[in-house]
Amino acid sequence: MGSHTKYAIVANPVSGKLDPKDKAQILKRIAEIFPASVCGLDTHSAQEFLHCVRDEAEKCDVLIVAGGDGTFSRVLDTVDLSQTTLAFLPFGTGNALRFALGYRGGVFDIATRIRFGSDHCCDLIHCDNGKKAFMLSLGVDGEAIRRYERYRAKGMKGLSAHVPAALNAAIRHRPADCTMEVDGISHHVSTLWSLVIVKQPFFGMGLNVVPQARWDDGYMHTKVFASGLPEMIAGLFTGFTIGNKRGLYRKMKRLTVRLNHPLTLQIDGELGRTDDLFSFSVLPGVLRLRS
């Protein structure tokens, strides 16, 4: 894209650890790189923020989302992806997308990369409730996020909240009996601890859960963890070092999951619905991502 490209930055005021005033100062300087308008920091609710997102998307060619994975996820369902190119500027806590996009350096380095980068056509995952996503999971992860939100409400953030939340969730998790229909073929899992469904390898904090995953190959990628807490701990260790080596890997275009009791869906780092039946399919090339 040339110098005529219109950029806009939408910033979530509650993402990450920075105070909105400090975030505004940083984004004012970042905006000069493009140049770009900055909006969103003065919004006071999720609805108001998404209204700002819709307005800015109609005015620009590239919409730069300054926030975390959850913020980017909400934008996916707010803008017309056939008309707007998105870019991600990490200001969240986990920032799985930072690792998925191979970002290096600070936010000014990343902004410069976006400014002189190129567009990539990426796949997304379609959930049966109509939501688009790039990383999902069923099982212990949903309970871990629920507990993380409780810790965060007490003022804890980052690993100091994520680690105890994950450990407590794993100890208290009740595995489900699960039937997975993978592209029309049925598979049974008697003790499902976690089912990870992704379009890119990473979860937050750089946890490489599914190293085989790719943005643009037309498939969803899954890992099934069914051997209990030791396997989950081993997966965490390898995921933070050489890339997760545990769990059963599959790739597919369509997936239906039936459970013997409800589990909570994790969607792009946030809580989804709790149910005993879910279906997912791949959306090839629907996201134009600038990086």
> Is the pLDDT at 186 greater than 50, yes or no?
yes
Q: Report whether the peptide linkage leading into residue 201 is cis, meaning its omega lies within 30 degrees of zero.
A: no
- What SS3 class is residue 239? helix
CA–CA distances in Å: residue 31 to residues 12, 104, 112, 225: 15, 19, 10, 43
Task: Choose one of 90, 117, 144: the last residue of a domain.
Answer: 117
Q: Does some domain include residue 197?
A: yes
User: Are residue 202 and residue 137 in the same domain, yes or no?
Assistant: yes
User: Are residue 224 and residue 143 in the same domain, yes or no?
Assistant: yes
- Biggest alpha carbon–alpha carbon distance for the chain: 57
> Is the pLDDT at 2 greater than 60, yes or no?
no
User: Could you give the angle at the alpha carbon of 232 between the alpha carbons of 217 and 140, nearest 5°?
Assistant: 85
User: Are residue 37 and residue 144 in the same domain, yes or no?
Assistant: no
- The gap between the terminal CA atoms of the chain, to the nearest Å, is 12
User: Are residue 99 and residue 199 in the same domain, yes or no?
Assistant: no
Region 136-159 average pLDDT:
82
Q: How confident is the model at residue 3 (pLDDT cuts 50, 70, 90)?
A: low
Q: How confident is the model at residue 164 (pLDDT cuts 50, 70, 90)?
A: confident
Q: Does some domain include residue 125?
A: no
pLDDT digits (tens, 9 = 90+) for 74-125: 999 999 999 999 999 999 888 999 999 999 999 999 999 999 999 999 999 9
Region 239-264 average pLDDT:
95
Contact 235, 210 (CB under 8 A): no
Helices (H), the chain: 20-31, 46-57, 69-76, 96-100, 107-115, 140-153, 159-172, 229-239
User: Are residue 46 and residue 151 in the same domain, yes or no?
Assistant: no
User: Are residue 101 and residue 220 in the same domain, yes or no?
Assistant: no
pTM of the predicted model, to two decimals?
Answer: 0.92
Number of domains in the chain: 2
* CATH number for position 150: 2.60.200.40
User: Are residue 65 and residue 202 in the same domain, yes or no?
Assistant: no
- What SS3 class is residue 9? strand
User: Are residue 99 and residue 189 in the same domain, yes or no?
Assistant: no
User: Are residue 99 and residue 183 in the same domain, yes or no?
Assistant: no
Q: Does some domain include residue 270?
A: yes
User: Are residue 150 and residue 268 in the same domain, yes or no?
Assistant: yes
pLDDT digits (tens, 9 = 90+) for 15-53: 888 888 899 999 999 999 999 999 999 999 999 999 999
Q: Does some domain include residue 126?
A: no
> Is the pLDDT at 158 greater than 70, yes or no?
no
Q: Does some domain include residue 172?
A: yes
Task: Choose one of 117, 144, 177: the last residue of a domain.
Answer: 117
Sign of CA dihedral 215, 177, 247, 229: positive
* CATH number for position 113: 3.40.50.10330
User: Are residue 46 and residue 172 in the same domain, yes or no?
Assistant: no
Q: Does some domain include residue 122?
A: no
User: Are residue 155 and residue 274 in the same domain, yes or no?
Assistant: yes
Q: Which domain holds residue 163?
A: 132-286
